[in-house]
Amino acid sequence: MEVFPAIEPSDRSFDMGDFPTTTAASFNGDEVRFNHGAEAVDHDLTITFLRRSDSVLEQIREHYRGQSGGHVSFQLPPIIWQGHSTDSDIVPIIGRWKYAGAPEERHRKGGRHDIVVRLQYVGSGIAA
């Protein structure tokens, strides 16, 4: 099972998503809601790595290539959530992620790089 490189991010931003729900109007005009799942969807995670070395940049590039971009999902190591109480209160710890696009790179002087990685949650793969 593939896991993202164990590199502590400088920053992370998380969008909690929402539960898959549709709405319809009832015969009397009230709104009726239908829940289509027990797990929230559309979680987005942006992790930023500031002033990192060439070797860290290459680890992220290789992982991206190894996942065929956003085609193959993977898990995140605990260090991605470092400083947060636990990763399982956000999404299940066995949750899988995919790349939302290619990592963005900003090359600085002295062989340092800023890297932004945008990920999308694809589920835990377990029945609720």
**Domain assignments of the chain as residue spans, ordered by start:** 11-123
Residue 30's CB is within 10 A of a number of other CB atoms, namely: 8
**59 and 87 Cβ atoms separated by less than 8 Å:** no
> Please, what is the average pLDDT of the chain?
86
What's the whole-model pTM score?
Answer: 0.79
Residue 116: beta bridge partners? 48, 104
Task: List, in order, residues 6 or more apart from 79 with CB less than 8 Å away.
Answer: 6, 7, 8
Decide which of 127 and 107 is more confident.
107
Q: How far apart are CA 56 and CA 10, in angstroms?
A: 13
- pLDDT for the residue numbered 127: 43
Considering just the CA atoms, what is the radius of gyration of the chain in Å? 18
pLDDT category of residue 125 using cuts at 50, 70 and 90: low
pLDDT category of residue 124 using cuts at 50, 70 and 90: confident
Side chain identity at residue 121, one-letter code: Y
Residue 49: beta bridge partners? 115
What Å distances lie between residue 73 and 27, 31, 53, 99, CA to CA? 43, 36, 25, 8
Question: Per-residue pLDDT tens for 1-53?
Answer: 589 999 999 999 988 777 888 888 888 888 988 888 777 777 899 999 999 99
